[in-house]
Structure 1
Amino acid sequence: MATLPKLAVVSFLILFAIGAKAGPNFDIIAELENGPGNVTVTDNGRIIMSMHQFYQPKYTVVEYKDKKLVPFPNKELADVDSKAVLKLDSVLGIRSANGIVWMLDNGMRSGVMPKLVGWDIKADRLHQVINLPPPIAPKDEFVNDFAVDTRRNHIFISDPAGGTNAGLIVVNLNTGTVRRVLEGHSSVIPENIDLIINKVPIQVKDKSGKLVRPHIGVNPITEDLNNEWVYFGPMHGHSLYRIKADDLANETLDDKALASRVERYSDKPISDGITVDKDNNIYLGELAENAIGIISSDRKYRRLSQCPRLSWVDSFSFGPNGNLYAVVNRLHQSATLNGGALEAKPPFYLLQVKALATGLPGR
């Protein structure tokens, strides 16, 4: 008879564990008609998103305001049909810091030079434009995401490019100088692994029309809240790396010296954008499993939530009050990554994720 209470306790614990595993740690705060790219949330709570170029959006950057999307910073810059001399063509990476929203325009829709555009949201005016000409951004560039270093006034950009020539781009915001570093290093080039979601492989058409399974280089990138370490890795890769921001910003280090400063940090799944909180938990989307997970400070990965609605979690950003936001865009069902067949249908999602600790707004 004494064993019955023990069995009951064990059964309760098993049920609790199952429930805890299945329970979502996110809320859908907006259903979107068009596929988002990346998201940033300013320190006063403005939610600003790039719209993913794979879905040919009318506006390249929007603000989620009063439960609808409006062009950001204005129609003149954000509208693809704008006749303005300066306009945004194909923005993916987007971050905010110190009142500036930074937008990384890869220029791929129109074949124009990629550029980094900063908009002052307090003064509501253009802050800075930095062009990324070749060879800083090669012909097959896909400048994708970036981290803003507010201590050194630098930006570190990930460029998966053609895979074997993937690299990082270091931007000195004080001088406007740009450098390409770590090109072809093992920490930035993709591994020979395929991304398969719901038993369907990611496939693109090459120039001959043949279907191939792409392997994408460095994409996820973030910096800790102390502006000490920059974390990055190939999208198609099972390793996350890090390097000290001081070393990345050091213009006197040659390629060999800089490469020697790169550390393998942890295992990771195939993933897109990442962010980090004050306790050094790194958040990411586990693309193959429709999941959100973290790499904790002990360098171990675990899932936080798994759900069919978490179908390609692309980007994260902390906002004020410790809130963590993310976007879902189902890129594997876009025509670009689905062998030419568009299967993605709205709604796409803007999420609020229950973070384990607070983070820095805009990051």
Structure 2
Amino acid sequence: MLRTRRAWTALILGAVALAACDGAPELSEVAAIDRAPGNITVTPDKRIIFSLHQFFEPDWRVAEWTDKGLQPFPTSDIASAKDPDVTLHSVLGIQSDSQGVVWMLDNGMRGGAVPKLVAWDTRNNKLHRIIELPQPITPPDAFVNDLAVDETHGKIFISDPAGGGNAALIVVDIASGGAKRVLQGHDSVVPEDRDMVIDGEPVEIKQPDGSTVRPRVGVNPIALDAKNEWLYYGPMHGGSLYRIAVSDLIDTEAKSLGEKVERYGRKPISDGISIDNDGNIYVTDVENNAVGVIDRSTEYRIYLTDPRLSWPDALSFGPDNRLYTVSNQLHRSAVLHAGVETATPPFYIFSFKPLAGGVAGR
């Protein structure tokens, strides 16, 4: 019986994937959980803390995986605090610094609140800092998504895909709490016109009139190198990874900042990136149930793939020099599956051995 053209294509692509992953590291299951994770950070004390993705409308906003299982984070539950400035609404981006202060990026969308950064001191179990991000730093359609904490320069860099055409980066000064919106509408942050197709099915959003659209998401993955010299980023729906020197990002006038941006290399449609101490960049390859790597040659290749990596969302190094990631089936949420949720637990936290160690928390 003759094979169909589709079958031959699947066979060839499968062989390519296997070849790309030949000798790939083992994907180790850290936890199977009943709530869908968003982004993840592993503190210097090896506490595994992650946001819970708002597309699934979770009862908790942030959680921690402990020897007792899944626990809300922080333990004093600021999500239920009476102070509206402290309440967590919808956290995605999350990152620990070297002192175990976990910075949570609350986009405020579930409560119609002003986006903000909330920092929690895990070693002393107390609130460390709140920095609000009001208009015009965040426009009405802001969707502040991911962040990179720079302790060398006292800055936090935020990716905001917003409405696509007005996507931008945000630079926050930790000491003053001041912020600026930069590179808005630049080619390096706006999405390309390409569909996201996972397991043979395009991702679609149902509109109020019942029709569907295929999303185009701007800048999302963002990460600093180990020395805090370069910031790497790119649009989720885009085939290129870009970088800019941190010194330029901090000091250059906004009108000429675009001239400082460099295209670094090719990447797949991706949700998160992380960088090891040798400059290898790990990329969540959501279309291929994989994690890829862009090595120092700037060429992209699949590093490991596994059917359980159903929408690998984010990455974080632990103090054990392993790289942690999550799987949340986001393309099966009602938001991205034409209004019909088909995601089923378990969702996962994994770890694997990278090519080199990295900075814990990122």
TM over 0.5: yes
Q: Look up the match of 1:158.
A: 159
Structure 1 CA distance for aligned equivalents of residues 174 and 210 of structure 2: 41
Deviation of 1:84 after TM superposition, in Å, equals: 4.2
Q: Deviations over 1:63-108 (max 9, x none)?
A: 11114111111353135xx544321110000000022100000011
Residue identity matched to 1:167: A
1:121/1:192 CA distance change after superposition, 3 Å: same
**How far apart are 1:48 and its partner, in Å?**
0.4
Task: After TM superposition, list the pairs within 5 Å mapping 1:51-66 onto structure 2.
Answer: 51-66=52-67
Aligned length: 344
1-side partners of 2:78 and 2:20: how far apart?
47
Summarize the alignment of residues 200-349 of structure 1 with structure 2, pairs less than 5 Å apart.
200-250=201-251, 253-349=252-348
Contact 1:106–1:113 under 8 Å retained in 2: yes
Q: Is the CA contact 2:20–2:301 (under 8 Å) kept in the aligned structure 1? A: no
Secondary structure of the residue that 2:217 maps to in structure 1? Answer: coil
2:45 maps to: 44
Are 1:60 and 1:89, in contact at CA under 8 Å, matched by a contact in 2?
yes
Contact 1:22 1:306 in 2 (8 A): no
Counterpart CA distance in 2 for 1:18 and 1:113 is: 47
Alpha-carbon deviation of 1:301? 0.5
Q: Which amino acid aligns with 1:331?
A: L
Rounded to whole Å, the distance in 1 between the matches of 2:209 and 2:138 is 25
Contact 2:21 2:304 (8 Å CA) reproduced: no
Moved over 6 A (4+): none
Deviations along 1:238-264, whole A, 9 cap, x unmatched? 0000001111122xx322321110000
Give identity over the alignment, percent.
51
User: 1:297 Cα deviation (Å)?
Assistant: 1.1
Q: Deviations over 1:13-50 (max 9, x none)?
A: x9xx8696286631111001010001000001010010
Question: How far apart are the structure 2 equivalents of 1:352 and 1:125?
Answer: 28
Please state whether the residue corresponding to 2:77 is helix, strand or coil. helix
Larger Rg: 1
* Structure 1 unmatched ranges of 5 or more: 1-13
Report the residue type matching 2:339 in the other structure: G
Structure 1 length as normaliser, TM-score?
A: 0.92
| Structure-2 residue corresponding to 1:138 | 139
Q: Which runs of 5+ in 2 are unaligned?
A: 1-14
AA partner of residue 70 (structure 2): L
- The residue that corresponds to 2:26 in the other structure is 25
Three-state SS of the structure 1 residue aligned to 2:249 is helix
Task: Report if the CA contact (8 A) 2:20-2:302 is conserved.
Answer: no
Tell me the secondary structure at the aligned position of residue 271 of structure 2.
coil
Paired position in structure 2 for 1:4: none
Aligned match of 1:124: 125
Give the whole-Å Cα distance in 1 for the aligned partners of 2:143 and 2:313.
15
Give deviations 1:270-317, integer Å, cap 9, x for gaps. Answer: 000110000111111111111111011110001111221111100000
Cα distance in 2, alignment partners of residues 119 and 141 from structure 1: 23
Cα distance in 2 for partners of 1:326, 1:71 equals 19
